[in-house]
Every structure is written in C-alpha cells, then in structure tokens.
Structure 1
C-alpha cells in the first residue's frame, strides 16, 4: 500500500466525523442562513491568511534530506499567495464590511488550529504540517463546489460571493494529485507517522471551527 493510501485509511474515521458535523450537512442541503455563511468566511480568512507564512516556516525547518519537499513547498506558496483577499472579496459581496472582517479576532477554535499548525512545525516534525494540507485540501475537494452551488441558490447571493469556495473546490483537485505524489515519496517512518498524527488532530481542530460557528444557537464571531 502506498503511503498516501495508508494516510487516507488511517484517518478515515476522523474525516467522516468532520463531514458529519451538523452545520456542514445543513450547508450541503442549503439549510443555513446568510449569517452562517458570513461567519464561516470570517473564520476562513483567519486561517487562510496564515497559509503562506506556515508554508514558509515549514520549508525553513525541513532537513537537507527533504530538499525535494522544500522545492514543492515553493510551488504551493506561489499557488496560495493572496487567497485571503478572495475571502474578503466574498465577505464584501455578502454585504459584510471588508475592513471590519480583516480587523476582527479569530474564534477560539480557529486560533487553536492555527497555533497547533505553528507548534507542529516549530516543536515537532515540520513534515507533520502536511497533515493540515490533507485536511483542508481534501475537505475542499469533497465539499466546496457542491456547497457553493447549493448555497448560491438558497441564500440568493451573487456568484462572486463564492470565489473562495469555487476556486478551492476546483484548484484543490489539482493539488490533491500533487499532494498524493509528495506523500508517496515520504519513505521515513517517523515522517509518515508525523503526517498521520497531525492529520488526525487537524480533522478535530478544523471540525471545531464549524461546531462553534454557533453556540447554543448564538453565533461566535469571536472567542468570548
């Protein structure tokens, strides 16, 4: 079995748990309010803006034996530059204040996920960061385009309110193939276990962002 296949098999339960989060299922069925979508975009901004800094940090910490992976990270960085601006564009198209969204604080769940990503890179094995890549890109491919198409109709929003979801649903299909090739080149058992461990954690952490978009029916725009 290739490592990528093993990675998917080892994280199947966590992936299924994430997808079953009620608000995700409601979104796929077009049963959420515009405020929910705006809350999702607000949190997306707060983790997407860290994607490039995290990639840079990961690349800087890789050992010389993984120079080929550092080169691949350079390609990821080129692809990911400026995506947080797409999220702000979508928020503006939904009627939200762009500057206010950019100046807002992340929720506790979002802050913890981002913090864990930096911690994985700086304290643990930096290769573990690719566990986060698996979770975010894999979830986008599985859900983003479908959710965007459903929500555009149910929320009566313009197409340009979904540039982040639509672009990532399509873009990440290409990324998943690229990612699979990278994972199958990882031959060190410690590196492999670092990715599996981190992926399991990131499925929980990313799921918590969705679980806490509402708290007892009240949306969390910020941590209390």
Structure 2
C-alpha cells in the first residue's frame, strides 16, 4: 500500500524536476561555471531563510495539539539552530564584510518561504511545515552530495563549504524523520492537501531563491 509520503513524493516530483533539479543554477554548478558572486548571493539568501527556520519551527511546536508533533518540531528546531552562522562563516572566508552584505532584505524566494511558514503556523495548521521540511530536507539529501562534490573543484569555495557539507550529511538522517512524521500527521485529506501544497510551494520558492541569487549577482557586478 502506498503511504501518504510516497504519494506526496510522486505528486511533487514534476515541480522538483522543473523548478529545482533542472534550474540553471544547478546546471551552472555541475558544469563548472559557477562564479564567486553567485555563490555568495546564494549564501546570503540562504542565511535569511535559515535565520528564521528555528523560529517558525518553535512556533509550530507551541501551536501543535499533538504531543508527538510538538516534540518533532522542537527537536528539528534545535537541529536547525545556528545554521545561519555557517553561512556567515563561509561568506567571511570568501572575504565578504557580512555586516554590510547581509544587511539588506531577502529576495522573493526566501521571502515567500518565510512568509508562507509563519502564515501556515498562525493561520492554518502547524503540520503544514512537514511539507516545508520534506521539500528542504529532501533537496539537501538528494542534491547536497552532488553539489558539494562539484563545489570542491572551485578554488574560491575551497574553505567556504561549511553550510553545504553540513547539510549534505545531516539531511540524510532528517529525511527519514520527516517521512515518518509526514505519514503519521496525514490523518485527514484536508491536512494531507495542506502539507503537499506547502511542499510544492516550497520547491517553487526554492527555485526562485536560485533565480534571486543569480539575478542579484548580475546587479551587483
């Protein structure tokens, strides 16, 4: 019998391929054509996202009615805490003044994910964040190792891969945790639809984050 998580994987696969896996940003990395300014812009957008992640996960824990879901979100919030510091460390190793470089507002992709998640927690059902977690942890587990392997070929990134390497490793374990939680939380068709929609929108927003990084680098050049 197909599990809710397996059904959701199938439903979101087209968006995953179109908006993320086949995005020019990924192709640029794997081709060996990534520039330092695009990579720095990616770290900047990621910084703004992961800075907020523990906050909306903690909020989800506080608003969840099920005890096990409270524990899940709290544990994940602790796991995701301080990952913004990894982005800061990598940017400093690239030679950036992070106080200045990170002072602006995030792009549309990051803005969308942060807004979506705070809205879902406060206005809908905290379980929606399982869709966000499934999307982001799945990306880290699937693309993380390939991207990290490609990134070591870039001289400018040799000492600035902390964030990518940590997530390529941790997300392998997190995916299994999310899979179990997703299946357990999918108690109604309405909740399942909310989680899958959040998953889909997160993938689309992640593709936008990649576009933002590439566009921002061009503007800054």
- TM-score, normalisation: structure 1: 0.90
How many residue pairs match? The answer is: 218
Alignment check: 8 A CA contact 1:88 1:101 kept: no
Query: 1:104 aligns to what?
Result: 104
Deviation at 1:103, TM superposition (A): 2.2
Query: 2:11 aligns to what?
Result: 10
1:116-165 deviation digits (Å, cap 9, x = unpaired): 11112112222111111111111111112321221221x20354300100
SS at 2:184 equivalent? coil
Measured at CA, do residues 172 and 84 of structure 1 come closer, stay the same or move farther in structure 2, by a change above 3 Å? same
Please, what is the CA RMSD of the aligned residues? 1.9
1:52-95 deviation digits (Å, cap 9, x = unpaired): 001011111212xx211111112112211111001100111111
Q: Aligned equivalents of 1:164 and 1:180: distance in 2?
A: 23
Deviation at 1:195, TM superposition (A): 0.6
Alignment check: 8 A CA contact 2:41 2:213 kept: yes
Query: 1:192 aligns to what?
Result: 192
Query: 1:68 aligns to what?
Result: 68
Q: Aligned equivalents of 2:69 and 2:204: distance in 1?
A: 26
Deviation at 1:38, TM superposition (A): 0.4
Alignment check: 8 A CA contact 1:212 1:219 kept: no
Query: 1:174 aligns to what?
Result: 173
Deviation at 1:218, TM superposition (A): 2.1
> After TM superposition, which residue ranges in structure 1, 4 or more long, deviate above 6 angstroms?
none
Match of 2:24 among 22, 25, 39: 22
Deviates more, 1:182-191 or 1:196-205: 182-191
Q: Aligned equivalents of 2:149 and 2:102: distance in 1?
A: 25
Q: Aligned equivalents of 1:125 and 1:100: distance in 2?
A: 37
Q: Aligned equivalents of 1:53 and 1:200: distance in 2?
A: 21
Q: Which has the higher helix share?
A: 2
Structure 1: gaps spanning 5 or more residues: none
Deviates more, 1:183-192 or 1:34-43: 183-192
Alignment check: 8 A CA contact 2:135 2:202 kept: yes
Q: Aligned equivalents of 1:187 and 1:35: distance in 2?
A: 41
